[in-house]
A and B are shown apart, each in its own frame.
Chain A
Amino acid sequence: MRIKIALAGNPNSGKTTLFNALTGSNQFVGNWPGVTVEKKEGGLKGHKDVTLTDLPGIYSLSPYTLEEVVARNYLLKEKPDAILNIVDGTNLERNLYLTTQLLELGIPVVVAVNMMDVVNKNGDKIHVKKLAEELGCEVVEISALKGTGIKEAANRAVALAEQKKAMKSVHTFSSRIEEALNAIEAKLPDSVPEEQRRFFAIKLFERDDKVKEQLKPVPDVEDIVTAAEEELDDDSESIITNERYTFISSIITDCYTKKSKNKQTISDKIDRIVTNRWLALPIFAVVMFVVYFVSVTTVGTILTDWTNDGLFGDGWHLLDIGAAEYADASDAYSLERTKIDAYLAAAEESGIDVEAVTEALDPETENPDASAVTAFEEEAAAAGIEGTAEIYNDEGEIEETFPVSLEDFQTAAQAEEPDPANYGVWVPGLPGLIKSGLESINCAPWLEGLILDGIVAGVGAVLGFVPQMLVLFIFLAFLESCGYMARIAFIMDRIFRKFGLSGKSFIPMLIGTGCGIPGVMASRTIENERDRRMTIMTTTFIPCGAKLPIIALIAGALFHNAWWVAPSAYFVGIAAIVVSGIILKKTKMFSGEPAPFVMELPAYHWPTVGNVLRSMWERGWSFIKKAGTVILLSTIFIWFVSNFGVVDGQFQMVEDLSDGLLAVIGRFIAPIFSPLGWGEWRASVAAITGLVAKENVVGTFGILYGFAEVAENGWEIWGTLSSSFTGLSAYSFLVFNLLCAPCFAAMGAIKREMNSAKWFWFAIGYQTIFAYLVSMCVYQIGMLVTAGSFGVATVISLIVLVAFFYLLFRPYKESQRLEKEVRV
């Protein structure tokens, strides 16, 4: 028969570290109260028939937090064969409070005093033998981090479990309470086993409703309890609490010799500075700036560029050898191409047929026709053609113009495209390798398209963010493990509490400015379920890195790069979070007692490299796995609907995106967006492709407006775009794309973190409907103000606006529901 051993202890007592060491399984260890929210199991190393269960970190067995209820139900109903109670040796008094309760359950207990290395270093002494005597159970000294004593602790627990002997607690309370407890015990039904009678008696004395549910019939002990309460002038629960602490105080002096009393610990000193009234925010800002600067802008960008342009692009120069030379050669070549294009354009304007020569000079053309070039040169010379080349900068402004003569054209026509492989050490990218591999096995063109344009491009675009995310995860794991994360929550709590979020929501949102996926995943550090859900739902409102090109496109095309467009996008995002927070807080789904901020701040300590890396890897890996499933399927779907369609009555692969099924879908759903001012199929299609990755919106516009490739801000299509959009409709398009459902990868993250289909769809639905309504209000009310137009949609928008304000300012009725509440 399998032996079950439960691992119980306070949050931050090193329980999870011990669990990992004993089972050898991979689990994240965070220096964060209540990191273990779920029950985890693992086989004990060296004992095949022993299962170890890691209970949530709890301070007591009272029914006030979700963790406590989970742990208590497990201990009472599953009845493990032994409990391994891990206590923090540096904080013995508080930790023994739980121990006294565990001892009453009748299950054999082994107390493992953890952090003995720290205790010894402080020069303190714990008299283990004396402690064992007073508690009436075995006590072992361990250090979970260093791995000392843990084998012995586990072996003792296994030995006790094998004996199958119920254990009776030896600690007693004051005689008045004992009297009352004995009276209650006598009233308990016979079905309660001997070893649990004391536990039930104490719980009945405390008027614990959840325990009453487990008793049939419930004995009436009210008069006993009331009598004791009146006599001691306190409520029964407080009486027991005080009795426990009195018992602990009575034994602690004999068991624990403290070398230095009232000496400030290092953590206290750090906290004096880090949470200082004046210094807290500046220090916090500096830390956040460093995290953001390194992971989102500098190192992160380098890594992201490498994966996107190198690994999943054309390739890269190893260690940048030859990169600069290639860039120069490439620039020189594109200048020559500009000259050619300018000359050809001038020639075409003068009525010369340039079709043959264009074809011959196209670098893509195989076996170019040299005679066409010669013929053209003769014709151009006869006509005396002079071209004017225009050099554009990144903003789409003309930087330089210069004349192009026939000689210039002739030299330019000789220029050859530089091959990066000829410069330095060139490593080709994955798509190129796969392409040549597929070509060598004569793969069908459609399959090649699916693999390269669909799968590799789609999944690659998502995986491109992995290195950046890993950098970010290292920071997060470090902040979490060293203990600073708990302080961040404390510092930011007052601000975020106002709109229904917690201080811990700040981190996900900050990270969300880089990428929403790690942002959503960072919400895991929020253990209050309500706060976490709300954070997950609102984090992606913040414009992420991939949304910046959309902002640049709209700002450039319709607002002449006005300075206010980009900041306003962030403002819209922040406003959406605040408004959603306030509105949602008042809904039934999120109602509940606002949890008062009471949180244990763990002692600062240097995290181990292993723990940080393990945490980074776990989060990174779960994302990569998602890219391999959800994202893979959705990119294949988008690729399919973009590349297949009905042309000439036949279902076939299409060359042009505007013939594909996606365009059909776009035309079909376009009317939905008419009230938003952009009921045009191209915009709809762009919004759909934005679901794969937000930066696709710009690329799609480029393709749909007839440019094969556009710059990141799409300046080539600014002209065309400004003719099909008005300022208002473009801003409404921008707002919609900023706020609506994020890309598939981020949706995948939301699904995973919500861990419930219902909440996932609620989040996505809320985001999309919210985005729709806000964009509609922007457009319709904007139209009313600027053009005075008034219609059905205007009326609806005004109603929506009023509804928004109502939801925002209606009184906040505190709900009576408490059951889901978890401590913060």
Chain B
Amino acid sequence: MPLILAKAGQTNTIVKIGGKEKTRKFLESLGFVAGSEVTVISEIAGNVIVNVKDTRIAINKEMAKRIMV
């Protein structure tokens, strides 16, 4: 399911990242790679703050839709 549907506090494993290459690569350098664990910390109107590899990262709805967990 897309990350946008994950519940706050839940830890999931990233399966796949879609979207434009440039953004995908940036996400990868931040630790968003398939197999990484991702925890949703909070969510406002689809924009989410997640914890990946011990870092908090804010991503907007459009991006969160493309991260499959």
Contacts and interface: CB of A to CB of B under 8 A. Distances in A.
A434 interface: no
Nearest to A597: B60
Interface stretch (A599-607, A612-620, A699-707, A747-755): A599-607
A447 interface: no
Contacts of A268: 41, 51, 56
Nearest to B59: A598
A731 interface: no
A280 B30 contact: no
A596 B62 contact: yes
A598 B58 contact: yes
Contacts of B25: 62, 64, 237, 241
Contacts of B52: 94
A681 interface: no
B31 A93 contact: yes
A596 B11 CA distance: 23
A596 B55 contact: no
A350 to B, nearest CB: 75
B42 A275 contact: yes
Nearest to A489: B58
Given A238-B28, A275-B49, A597 B42 contact: no
A732 to B, nearest CB: 40
A316 interface: no
B47 interface: yes
B32 to A, nearest CB: 9
Given A597-B60, A601-B56, A277 B43 contact: yes
B47 A818 contact: no
- Majority SS at the chain B contact face: mixed
Given A59-B29, A65-B26, A93-B31, A494 B54 contact: no
B8 to A, nearest CB: 8
Given A262-B11, A271-B42, A271-B49, A91 B60 contact: no
A473 interface: no
B57 interface: yes
Contacts, number: 119
Interface string B16-36: 000110110111111101111
Nearest to B50: A601
B45 A277 contact: yes
B7 interface: no
Contacts of A596: 19-20, 23, 59-60, 62-63
A493 B42 contact: no
A242 B34 contact: yes
B23 A598 contact: yes
Contacts of A593: 20, 22
A777 interface: no
B49 A601 contact: yes
A494 B57 contact: no
Contact of B47 (A60, A98, A241, A597): A597
Q: What 9 pairs across the A-B complex have the smallest Cβ distances?
A: A60-B29, A597-B60, A59-B29, A601-B56, A490-B58, A94-B53, A94-B31, A91-B54, A275-B42
Given A277-B42, A601-B49, 15 more contacts: A59-B30, A93-B54, A97-B29, A97-B31, A271-B42, A277-B43, A491-B44, A493-B60, A596-B63, A598-B23, A598-B58, A599-B57, A601-B58, A602-B56, A821-B22
